[in-house]
Structure 1
Amino acid sequence: MSEFDSGPINTPDTGDTMVSITNLEGKITYVNRVFMRVSGYHEKQLIGFNHNLVRHHTMPRCVWHRVWKRLEKNDEAFILVKNSSATGTEYWSFSALYPNYDAQGKKVGYCAVHYPASESMIRLIEPIYAKVLEAESRDFNSGLDCLEQLLKDAGHDSYSDYLLEAHYKEAPTEPSGRPGYQPTYARQTSSNSAAWPFLNTQINIAQGVHLGLATLVTAAGQYFYSASPWFLLYPLIVFAVIVYIRRIVHRALKVLHRVHHTIKRSKMGEFHHRVNDISGLGEVGQVAWEMNELLDQMQSFYLEADSAFQDVSEGQEHRYAISTAVSGAPYRSLEQLNTGLDAIRQVRTIRSRNELMSKLNEVNVGCLVPNLTTIQTDLSAVIEEIRSALNTSTENRQDVEASERVIETMLQQLSNITGVLSNIQDLVIQLDQDGSRVVEALTLISDISEQTNLLALNASIEAARAGEHGRGFAVVADEVRTLAGRSKDAAENISRIIDTFSERSKQMRIASEQAGGEAEALNRDIGGFHETFTRLATSAIDTNKRLAHASDKNFTILAKVDHIVYKQRTYLGIQDTQEHTEAINAVSVDHHNCRLGKWYDEGIGYEQFRHLNSFKKLQEPHEAVHKCARFAVELASNNWLSNPDIRDEIVAAVNRAESASDEVMSLLDAMVEEKHHSHYS
C-alpha cells in the first residue's frame, strides 16, 4: 500500500476537495495532497503523466471525449468520474473542469476540482455508464447518444444539468469548525518530506562559524599538540557537510523563488501556477504546500464565481457555485453568491417572461386591432343589410294594407255580381218557361195547319166528286173556318208570348250590362291587385336574398370572433401552462372539431358553399392556424424562460398562426361575396 493510502476508498471524504492541473495535452503539472491521499499515488508518480493514469477501465471513454470537446471550446465541463487508485480500488468523484489562462488571456492548460460524489448520483449513473460502455464498444459516437437518452428516460434534461442540480441539492454543508484542510495530514506530509524537522534561516552563519571553528581547532591541534595527520580530515568533513547543507538550502531558496514567482503571477490573476517537487524541504515544503492549497481554494473560488455568473447569464437554470472546495469566508461568499444567483434567476425569469409577453402582446395588439376593425366593418355592413331589409319590410306592409282594402272592395263587388247573376238566373228560368209555352203554341199551330191542309185536301176531293152535290164542301168549309179561327187565336197567343219574351230579353240585357260593368270593375281591381302582389313578391324575394346574405355574413363574423377567442386562449396557454389548462384544452382541438371545421366538413357550409373556389382554399390556412397555435403552446411547456431560441420559436409560431388567421378571415369574406354577388348585379 502506498504511503498516501488511507484505507478503503469510495469517494473523497466530506469536506475534502481534490485538485489537479494539466497542460493542454492533459499531462499533470500539479496535484494537491488530497488528490495524492485519495488516489494513493505519490507526487512523482503523477507529475508529467497523462491524467488518464487514474481513469478506471469501466469508465466510458466517450464521456471523457465529451469533456475534452467542451474544454477545447473554452467552456467548463462537468463529469461524474469513476477512477482507480494506485492499489486498484475504485472511487467516484464529481469533477468540474475549467480552462486556465495566462495574463494575456492565452489558454495554457486545464484545472480540475474533484468533489465528493453522493451515493444517489453513483446509483443512478453507474448502471447508465455500463450501458454506455456497451454501446460505445459497438459504435463510439452512439455512446453519448445513449447517455443522453437514458438520462432523459430517467427524467433529466441533460447530463451536465443533472450533475449540477444533483450535486447542488445533495452537497454536504460545511463541517462545523473545519479550518480548511486537516492539520494532522499537513504534519504527516511535512514529516514525510523533511530530512529533519526545521530549517533555520541562520544556517549560513552557523555553517561559516562551524567551518571556521573546525579549521581553527585543527590548526591549533597541529601547532600546539602535534595531532595525528588524520585530524586534518576534520575540516574536510565539516566542509563536505556544509556543501551538502548548502545544496539543500539552495534547493529551498529555489523553491522560495518559485513561491515568489507563483505569488507574483497570482497577483496578476493567474491562479493556475503551483510549486511542486518540494519533498524533503521541511518548513519550506510546508509553506509551499499551504500556498498551493491556498491557491487551490482561491482558484476554485474565482473559477466557480466566474463560471456560475457566466452560466447563469447564459440561461443555465441549474447552475450554482460549488462551495465545497473552499471554507470560511470564501465558502460564505459563494453561498451568498448562490443566493444572489437565485435572485438573478428570478429577475431573468421575470425579464424573459416580460420579453416574451411583450413580443406576444406586440403581435397580439398588432393583429387584434385590424381584426376588431374588420369586425366593425362587417357589423356596419350587417346593420346596413338589416336596415335595407327593414325598409323593404315596411314597403311590404304598406302594400299588404292597400291590398287588404282592395280585397275588401273586390269582395263587395263580387257580392253584387252574385246578386245580379242570381237575378239573371231567375230571368233565364222564366225565359225557359216562356219558351216551353211557345213550343206548345207552335205545336198547336202545326197541328192546325196539318188539319187545315188535310181538310183542304178533302174539300178538294169532295168538290171534285160531288160536282153538283156541294153539301159536303160546305161542311169542309165550316171546318176550315173553325181552323182558321183557332189559327188566329194561336197567332195572337204567339204575339203576346213574343212580346213577353222581348220584355224578358230587354230585362236580361239590362242585367247583363250591369253584370258586365261589375265584371269590368272587378277586372280592373284584380289587375291592380296583381300588380300590388307582384311588387310584394319581388320585395319578398329581395328581402330573402338580403337576409340570406346577412345570415352568411353573421356566420363569418362569428367565425372571426371564434378565431380571436382561439388566439387569445393560445396567448393564455403560452403565458402559463399550469394555470390556464382550460385554455390549453381549447387550443388542443384540431381544425375538424371546431365550429368552423364542422361547418366546413359537414354543415351548412359544405351544403351551400362547397362549389365555390374560396371555399376550397379555406382548409389549408384554417389547419395552419390550429397547428401553429398548438405548436406554440407545446413549446411553452419547455424551459423557454432560460432559452431565447425557444422564445423566438414561440413568437414565430404565433406569427404564422396570425398570418394564417388573416387569410382565413379574408377567404370567409370572399366566399360570402362569391356566393351572393349575382344577387345584386
Structure 2
Amino acid sequence: MKHNNKKQTESSKIPFIRTQQLIFSIFNLLVVLALTLFINLNYKVDLIIWGLLLIMIINAFYHWFVVDRQVKLITHISSVLASNTKGELYHRITDTKGMGEIGKVAWELNRFLDRVECYFKEVGTCFNAVASGDFDRETLPNGLPGQFKRSLLSINRSVCAMRENGLLMAHNSLASELHKLNSGNLIVNLKNNQSDLVNISEQMNKVETIAIANGDKAKGSVESVSKITRSLFDLDHSIQSVTKVIQALNENSDKVTESLSVITNIADQTNLLALNASIEAARAGEHGRGFAVVADEVKSLSHHTKNAAEDVEKTLQEFNRRVKEMIVESDNASKLASSIKTKIDDFKEQFNTFSESANETIGHVSYAKDKTFGLLAKVDHIVFKQNGYIAIDKNTPCSERKAVQVSSHNCRLGKWYYEGTGLTEFSNTEAYKALEEPHTQVHNQVQRSLELIQKDWVNDQNIRINLIDSIKQYEAASSDVMRLMDEMVEQKHQH
C-alpha cells in the first residue's frame, strides 16, 4: 500500500494526457508559426511551402481531434471504473468504434465487467435464497471462466455444507425442543406418579393392617371353632351316655313289666283260689263261714292287687313309650350332633384354609407394599436424576439446580434410607447395606457435573471429556441403585 501510494504521489506531479496533448499541440503550432515567420523573412515563399505548412496545421488539428477522442474515452473508462469502485457494476464503456487499441481495451474491460456483474449477481441471488432458507438455488458457474467459475463452484460446495448444516441445526433444534418438552413433562409426570405412589403406599399400609387384623381374627375364629367342636364332641358323648341310660331304663322297665305280669298272674290265680275257697266254704255250711270270710278278703286283696298291677303296667307302658320316644329323640340328637360336628369340622377346615389364605394374603400384601415402597424410592431417585440433567442443560440458577445440591442424607431417597421405611423395614438385608455407596456416588457425580458445566467446556475438550465421564459415572451408579432397590425387597421376602 505504501508503494502504491508513492507511485500515485509521483504520478500526481505529471500532467494529464489532455494537458500534455494541449501543450504538445500549442508547441507544434508555435513551431509552425515560427517556421512560417522565419521562411517569410528569409526566403521567398512559394505554394509548396504554404501547402506543407497547411498540411502540418491540419495534421496538428487532426492529431488533436484523435487524441481528444482517446482522452475522452480514457476519461469515460476512468469514470466507469470509479463507479465500479463504488459498487455500481452496471456501468459500461460506450462509443468505442474506431478507437483502436484503446477501444479494444474498453471492449475487454466491458467483458470483464459483464463477468464480474454476472458473478456478483449469481452470488447475491444464491445468498439471498440461502438467507430465506432456500438452499436449492445454487450459483450457475457455466459460462464463467477461470477463477470466477472455481469461486462459484466453491460457493456451491459451501451452500451444500450450509444445507447439511441447516438440516443438522433443524434436527438439533427439533431435538432440543422435544427434549425440553419431554424433560418438562417427564418431571411433571414423575412428580404426579410420585404423589400417587405415596398415596398407594399409604393405602397399602392400611390394607396390610386390615389383612393382619383379619388374619388375627381368622386365627381367633379357628380357636373358637375348635372350642365349639370340642363342646359338640362333649355334647355328643353326653347324648350317647344319656341314650345308654335311657336304654337301660327301657330294659329295666321291661323287666318291671314282666314282674307285673307275674304279679297279675298270681293275683288271678289267688282270685281263682279264693273263688274255689268260697265254693268249698259254702259247701261246708256253718263250719266254713270263717273260712269264707277269709276267702272274700283274699279275693278282695287279689282284686286290688290286680288293679294296682294293671295301673302300674299302664304307667310303665306309657313310660316305655316315652322312653322309646326319648331314645328316638336321643338318636336324632346324636345324629344331629354328629352332623353338626361334621359340618363344623368342614367349617373348621375352611377356616383353616381361610386362615392360611389370610396369612398368604398378608405375605403378598406385604410384598406388594414393599415393592411399592421400592418403586416410590426409585421414582424419587429418577426425579433427582432428571433434575440433575435439567440443571446441567440450563446451566443457570434454577429450582432443579437447588434440588440436586443436597447431600445424600437430605434427599427423599436419603431420608427414606436413613430415617424412614428403608431403615425400619430393610436394614437387615445385604442390599440395603450396599445401597449407600452408589447413592452417595450419584450425588457426588451430579454435583461435579454442575461444577464442570460452569467452566469453558465449549473451547476446552478436556472439560467436555470430564463432564461426559462424570455423567457416565452417575448413570452407572444410578443403575446400581435401581438394582439394589429390587434386590433389597427380594432379600427381605426370602426369609
How high is the TM-score relative to the length of structure 1?
Answer: 0.34
Per residue, is there more strand in 1 or in 2?
A: 1
TM-score, scaled relative to structure 2: 0.45
Larger-Rg structure: 2
Q: Which has the higher contact order (CA 8 A, sep 6+)?
A: 2
Report the structure, 1 or 2, having the larger helix content.
2
